[in-house]
Amino acid sequence: MKTFVLIHGSWHSAWNWHKVIPLLEKAGHQAIAVDLPGMGRDKTPIGDVKMKNTVQTLCALLDEIPGKVVLVGHSKNGIMISQVAEYRPGKIEKLVYLAAYLIPNGKTQREYSLQDTEGWLKPYVTQHPETSSHTLQPKIYREGLYHDCDEDITALAKLLLSHEPVESGITPLELTEENFGSVPRVYIECTEDRAVTPFIQRKMYTEMPCENVYQLPTSHSPFFSKPRELVDILLHV
C-alpha cells in the first residue's frame, strides 16, 4: 500500500480530488487531500498565509504519516512540494508534478508564469492588495480551467473557489541537490491546458529533467475530466 498526499492548485482546495481518492482507495492505497492554509475549510485569514508556514504545515503532516508518501502537486503548488522535499526528503518516495510549476533553486513561480504568455487566465485575475491575494473571475472558469469537464464542475467552482495568497508566488525557492535533488520526480503534462500551457510545462521539465514524463490529453483539470486515466498514471508511478 502506498500513501498519496494530494496538493491542490491556486484558488482551489481538497475537493479537487473527490473523484481521484475513491479510485486510489479501491486500488488498495491511502489518499489524503489537503486544504492548504487559507483555502477550502481551513480558516486561516488569507492575508496571514505565508509560504513558510504552508510548507511547515505540510512537513508536519508528513511527519505524522508512517513511512514514505507519494507527494502530488497541481499547478502553482508544484512550488510547495518542491520546498517540502527540501526539508523532508526522507519522507517522500516520489514527487509528482501535475501540470505544475517545477522551478529551480532561487527562482519564483511568478517568473515562470510571466513567460507563459499564451495562457488564458491572466486577464481575468483580480488583485486584492488589502489582503495580499487575488481571485479568478468566474466568467473564465469553464473555458480556462474546465473546458473538457462536466458542467457541474463549473457550477461547484463558482461556489468553492476562493482567494489565492500572492506571497508564495514571489518567494524564491530554496533547494539543494543533496535534499530536493535526491527525491525522484515525474511530470504529468496536460496537453490541452489553457491555464499552465504545454509551452511552459515543457520548458520546466526540460530545464529540470524528471525520471518520467507522462501526457494526458486534457485541460488543466484531469482530476475532474479523466480521473481514471490520471489514477492509472499515479499507480504506474
* 162 annotated active-site: no
- pLDDT tens-digit map of 145-172: 999 999 999 999 999 999 999 999 999 9
219 is known as an active-site residue: no
Q: What is the pLDDT of residue 54?
A: 98
Q: Is 147 a catalytic residue?
A: no
Residue 203, helix vs strand vs coil: helix
Kindly name the residue from 75, 133, 221, 225 that is annotated as catalytic. Answer: 75
- The dihedrals phi and psi of 120, each to the nearest 5 degrees, come to -90, -15
pLDDT band at 228 (very low <50, low <70, confident <90, very high): very high
**How much of the chain, in percent, has pLDDT values that exceed 90?**
100
pLDDT the model gives residue 57? 98
Spatial separation of the C-alpha atoms in residues 237 and 232, rounded to whole Å: 9
Q: Considering its fold, how many domains does the chain have in total?
A: 1
Q: Which among 134, 220, 221, 225 is annotated as catalytic?
A: 220
* Helix, coil or strand: residue 6: strand
Q: What is the pLDDT of residue 122?
A: 97
- Domain residues for the domain of 95 are 3-236
User: What are the tens digits of pLDDT across the range 57-68?
Assistant: 999 999 999 999
Query: Any idea which residue has 487566465 for its cell?
Result: 121
Neighbours of 45 (CB within 10 A): 11
Q: Which residue type does 171 have?
A: T
Mean pLDDT along residues 18-32? 98
Please write the tens of the pLDDT for every residue from 111-148: 999 999 999 999 999 999 999 999 999 999 999 999 99
pLDDT tier at 41 (50, 70, 90 boundaries)?
very high
pLDDT at position 135, please? 98
Q: What is the CATH number of the domain that holds 23?
A: 3.40.50.1820
Active-site residue, selected from the candidate residues 10, 74, 193, 221: 193
